[in-house]
Structure 1
Amino acid sequence: MKKSILLFLSFLVSLFLCIPVLADDSGYIRENSQYMDSLTEANLEEEAATIAEKHDFQVYYISLDSNIEDLQGYASDLYQSLAGNKDGVLLLVNEDRSKWYVHYGGQAESLLNLQDREFLYKSFIKENQASDSIQSYLATVKSRFEKPALLVDNGGLLYDDEKEELLAKLTEISKRQGLDLVILTEDSLNGQTAQEYADNYFDFNSYGQGKAHDGVLLLVSMTERDWYISTTGYGIYAITDGGVEYISNQFVKYLSAGDYALAFNTYADLVDQFVSQAKTDKPYDRGNMPKEPLSLLWLPASALLGLFVAWAITALLKGQLQSVQNESGAGNYMKKDSFKLTNSQDLFLYRNVTSVPIPKNNNSSGFRGGGGSSSHGSFSGGSHGGGGGKF
């Protein structure tokens, strides 16, 4: 009898090992518990449930403990058992992330309007930690239904009243100029470069207006003391490399001093000015930057300096003429009948002509007037310009 029971238990164990194991058998988020604590998983589950409730769109993430050869077939069958014909998406990833598959249910593809079928997986894989990866995946899906915030202060650098005032400015400029003007603060970049983080955040959170995703994003990270301006679409045209350098010279000093509200407002005002300039004329660039206004203190200072210089020169010349006496006329300086003009004529001597060829415009960057903006491809496949540094 005992032998039969042992054989039966062995059979059950073998069967269990042959069946793909999920970290959980219910809910939207199913991650191996060794990579994420229960509280974090509960928060992510709530986020997915909120998306389903608000937008009638199901978002599933499944982490597999074992390998499956046919991920596509498995994902299709699993989604059908979970959501049937409802609109939604399921991201299936094995434990070491070497295999993955995204299944779109119902009208999900048209609703998400993604040009790249790998876009959601890219939003997941760009992060290293499981919780960060799932959060990024959920945020990307959510951004396809909700307009992302123009001010994201994850670094906690601003007071509530400063946030309210700055967000109002960013919203007004973005609406008037037709491009998203974004400010993002973070505690850490989680191993990414400032350029990668800024570009990825812009792309995977669906920022940008129009087909070219016009926008400008400023990233500030406190741990690395990095700042970076990422531009897309019209933002690349309006904010040249020289423009990034000029704008940063105006606001980075306030970042270094800890006056974050002033730094961010200065950045927003300058981007607004640069975009307006690009729309009415050629973009600001090296050799064609905004003229710095003179301080009002320079007016009385310049007047006093001019009076002092004039007095000094007059005093010096007067001191050199002590032997000279005043004369009432010029007669004493002339010799009578010493000048006689007998003949006068004009003679043409020579002509000097210099020819300078007009240089041809061989600029192929697409910027009017030789404007200079370098660009690069991002992890998502988008095109970005910009630049950054330390503060």
Structure 2
Amino acid sequence: MKKRIAALISAVFVLLALCIPVAADGASYIFDVSGALSAEDWATLEAQAQDLSDRYGCGVYAAIVDDSDEYGSDVSDASERIYADNGFGLGEAHNGIFLLLSLSDRNYALHVDGHDAMTAFSSAAQDMVEESFLPALGDDDWAGGLADYLTACGECLERAASGDPIRESPVKAILIAIGASCAVALVVCLILKSKMNSVHKGTSALEYVVDDGLTLTEQYDHYTHTTETVRVIESDSDSSSDSSTRSGSF
């Protein structure tokens, strides 16, 4: 009975926190409006999130709600509204990452805001973060899912702080390019082969005579120059966007 009362009080407190802008100093990072977490789990996750946020200067947030439709038109819109309305993020750029879980429809949104946060949480890094928490959430292990989320965020932030942020591996792009080139080359060879098969040797000299008579001219091939085309590929760090939001189901 005492645990239920404590959970209810915690849920009411968090609900108020989501409706009132939170100051940067002494702010909370883990919000459980639905009461899915025990008091002990919440305290552990809150301490871990605060430690990461203080250590790297990038807010790491998460919230569990019953229905994201109460906060926005969809889960992505709700995550952006909650982030902005509650003053989430650290520094002037409001750097931070925010995971919103909507239990009723089992949807989630991952919102990243601020240039430094976007550097640490590139598209490839966000893929890694998602892969970390989805298995536990699929088993309704909310505390475990958030713990995995925080651990993955810590790895991304540490990589960025050491000057080696997570980026998409070029191997996949290279393999795709090689495969496409081979496919194009194969098609060209097949076309040329089909045209060559249609040529036959003449059996009579008349086949080589045109109406205006047979004219022979000399032809020469002269090498002049080589043209090289260079395409600039922009990296994640070149992006001018300072925020991103992705969503999915668990």
Q: Same fold (TM over 0.5)?
A: yes
> 8 Å contact 1:216–1:235 — kept in the other structure?
yes
- Going from structure 1 to structure 2, the CA distance change for 1:210 and 1:288 (only over 3 Å counts) comes to farther
In the alignment, which residue of structure 2 is the partner of 1:388? 247
User: Of 109, 113, 127, which aligns to 1:232?
Assistant: 113
Deviant stretches of 4+, over 4 Å: 135-138, 144-147, 357-362
* 1:285 and 2:135 correspond: no
Trace 1:97-116 onto structure 2 (pairs within 5 A): none
> 8 Å contact 1:195–1:228 — kept in the other structure?
yes
Q: Counting helix residues as a fraction of each chain, which structure ranks higher?
A: 2
In the alignment, which residue of structure 2 is the partner of 1:301? none
SS at match of 1:263: helix
1:283 is displaced (CA, Å) by 2.1
* 1:261 and 2:120 correspond: no
> 8 Å contact 1:154–1:187 — kept in the other structure?
yes
- Going from structure 1 to structure 2, the CA distance change for 1:374 and 1:272 (only over 3 Å counts) comes to farther
Question: Using the alignment, how far apart are the partners of 1:261 and 1:138 within structure 2?
Answer: 23
> 8 Å contact 2:79–2:100 — kept in the other structure?
yes
User: Of 198, 205, 223, which aligns to 2:86?
Assistant: 205
* 1:367 and 2:237 correspond: yes
- Going from structure 1 to structure 2, the CA distance change for 1:358 and 1:194 (only over 3 Å counts) comes to same
Query: 5+ unaligned residues in a row in structure 2: which ranges?
Result: 1-12, 172-225
Q: For the aligned residues, what is the CA RMSD?
A: 3.1
CA deviation profile, 1:320-345 (whole Å, cap 9, x unmatched):
xxxxxxxxxxxxxxxxxxxxxxxxxx
Percent identity of paired positions between Structure 1 and Structure 2: 20
Question: Using the alignment, how far apart are the partners of 1:150 and 1:198 within structure 2?
Answer: 14
SS at match of 2:20: helix
Query: 5+ unaligned residues in a row in structure 1: which ranges?
Result: 1-46, 48-131, 290-354, 376-382
- Going from structure 1 to structure 2, the CA distance change for 1:247 and 1:197 (only over 3 Å counts) comes to same
Question: Using the alignment, how far apart are the partners of 2:50 and 2:164 within structure 1?
Answer: 25
Match for 2:149: what amino acid? Y
- Going from structure 1 to structure 2, the CA distance change for 1:185 and 1:281 (only over 3 Å counts) comes to same
Aligned residues: 180
- Going from structure 1 to structure 2, the CA distance change for 1:171 and 1:221 (only over 3 Å counts) comes to same
SS at match of 1:207: coil
CA deviation profile, 1:65-102 (whole Å, cap 9, x unmatched):
xxxxxxxxxxxxxxxxxxxxxxxxxxxxxxxxxxxxxx
Question: Using the alignment, how far apart are the partners of 1:192 and 1:267 within structure 2?
Answer: 25
* 1:245 and 2:124 correspond: no
Say which one has the larger Rg: 1
1:282 is displaced (CA, Å) by 3.6
CA deviation profile, 1:174-205 (whole Å, cap 9, x unmatched):
10011110011100112521111111111110
In the alignment, which residue of structure 2 is the partner of 1:158? 37
Match for 1:270: what amino acid? A
- Going from structure 1 to structure 2, the CA distance change for 1:366 and 1:224 (only over 3 Å counts) comes to same
In the alignment, which residue of structure 2 is the partner of 1:194? 75
1:235 is displaced (CA, Å) by 1.5
> 8 Å contact 1:239–1:386 — kept in the other structure?
no
SS at match of 2:152: helix
- Going from structure 1 to structure 2, the CA distance change for 1:147 and 1:198 (only over 3 Å counts) comes to farther
SS at match of 1:220: strand
- Going from structure 1 to structure 2, the CA distance change for 1:362 and 1:181 (only over 3 Å counts) comes to same
> 8 Å contact 2:67–2:104 — kept in the other structure?
yes
Question: Using the alignment, how far apart are the partners of 2:41 and 2:23 within structure 1?
Answer: 28
1:148 is displaced (CA, Å) by 3.4
